[in-house]
Structure 1
Amino acid sequence: MDVVTLGETMVLFTPETPGPMRYTNRYSIRVAGAESNVAIGLSRLGFQAGWISRLGDDEFGKKIQSFIRGEGVDVSQTILEADGDTGLFFKEKLAPNEWRVKYYRKNSAASMMRPEDVDESYIASAKFLHVTGITPALSEGCYETVLTAIEYAKKHHVIVVFDPNLRRKLWPEEKARNVLLELASKADIVLPGIDEAKFLFGSGTPEQLTERFRDNGATVVVMKLGSEGAYFWDDDMGGYVAGFSVPEVVDPVGAGDGFSAGFLSGLLDGLNLHDSVERANAVGAMVTLVPGDVEGLPEKGRLMDFMQSREQGDVER
């Protein structure tokens, strides 16, 4: 297994017309979740990915399990929970560049995850463990499950990758800050957005904030800067990598997950840090071109074509 990840995936309802949902009577139905988005992105790029979670033993849960399995992701560690429901969320387009997301996930099946759900040998089989800050926000059991997965990864020398993926509505700010900093301190690679870094450490330049993450324990930090690209740093190299321009941002949700998938695929392909970040920027940009969280995730041939067709500039230290 190349990458194992764990977290909640939900059914996504998107109105077929723009504007407030109160005026909509037709919706498209998709599958979306930060961690499974990453797993699907890696699978499309030719890698083996596994996803650990709980789903409701209902039609939505079965739809999600079938969809993710169909994308080539291993779902053997996913449990269908008879006593829990599958989470739902709605995404409405209010204006060309304005989106609003509403979640219905309280007491969902995924929030019932517990440490016993994590098979130590399954984690040990991976090269990377990918976790986000969403899962520990769902419940105390989910928080302990993430810690258990990280403990197993550390024990078996599996590289831990952490994306803070801050969701302010899920928990109090002080608790969020403490837990995210704790998880960042346990990770080998941290993939924060610039706003998440400022939430955790206060104001500062990407260079300054990256240094704070490294002081906190991370070996590698890659900071997402939106359309501007990303800033990265480890002991050997660092600098800015420019983003890829796109003609129109159709749907920005899921771009960060695409970034993570692209970055990990680069490392798995043996690319250096700079080139892995460049690939991450490209996948993130491609995701924004298509409605839905996973629909824009590319296969490798299309990714290479996209990258070759666009010029970039960057600055290294």
Structure 2
Amino acid sequence: MRLARRVGVGLLAVVLACALWELYKLVGPDAGGHVLGASVLPRAEDRAMPHVWDVVGRMLEPESSAAGSPSVAVAMLSACWFTLRVALAGWLAGVVAGFGLAVAMQRSRLTEAAVFPWVVLSQTVPLIALAPLVVGWGGKIQIGSFSWERPMSVALIASYLAFFPVAVGALRGLQSPDAAHVELFRAQAASWWHTFRFLRLPASVPYLLPALRLGAATAVVGAIVAEVSTGTKGGIGRLIIAYAQAASGDPAKPWAAIVGAALLGLVAAGLVSLLGLGLGRYRHTEVS
């Protein structure tokens, strides 16, 4: 029932977003709103904001006029599948790194004081500046028959965004047990591992699951930005760029790719939410 309610709320949010879109198209200015020469409202004309049904209809039409061209929806699904696999690989790496850092910071206050500011500072580096460096470093890695591929750079950049919410959420969860419970384990001479396994890890679940979902969504964002920045072909990021070139004559086409990217983030977060289905007894205090 909880899952059904969340799915229902999600569908309702999509319907509401579409209704707001159409409402703005109805009452918004075609030329947009300007204050002192600065644009403050988007243009409501069809070339800038096509109708929702036009975007959906464009998804079902051929991608181009070439013979045998697949529909936009098929091309979009193929691109999303490529990006999803790369983003999930980056998410897994980010989860391992973030959770490992959280465990190290929880165990040692000195480590937390030394590492946590750098964890926060790492998120201030723009991906557009980081992506070329990662590609350049990765291109020099070759061990025997193994060579660094461009999608690996995309996955690494995705993990860079994914590890932060996991590290922060896991640290907060591991530090959440009451002092009385911690003292009880100490009074029974429980080792650090037993305290971690039977007290801190279960207590961290309500904090960790939302962090994992957020990490999955940010991994998708990182993968899309990395695809655009590194020129990696096959993903939804490059598809958005390719479709944007036809925006003037086919405005619904780029919006179809943008919708696909948004749905991809929701799918990634939804897949991660499945991890919590078997952890219901730990989720009564989950932080959304």
The TM-score normalised by the length of structure 2 is 0.22
User: Normalized per residue, which structure has more strand?
Assistant: 1
State TM-score, norm by structure 1: 0.20
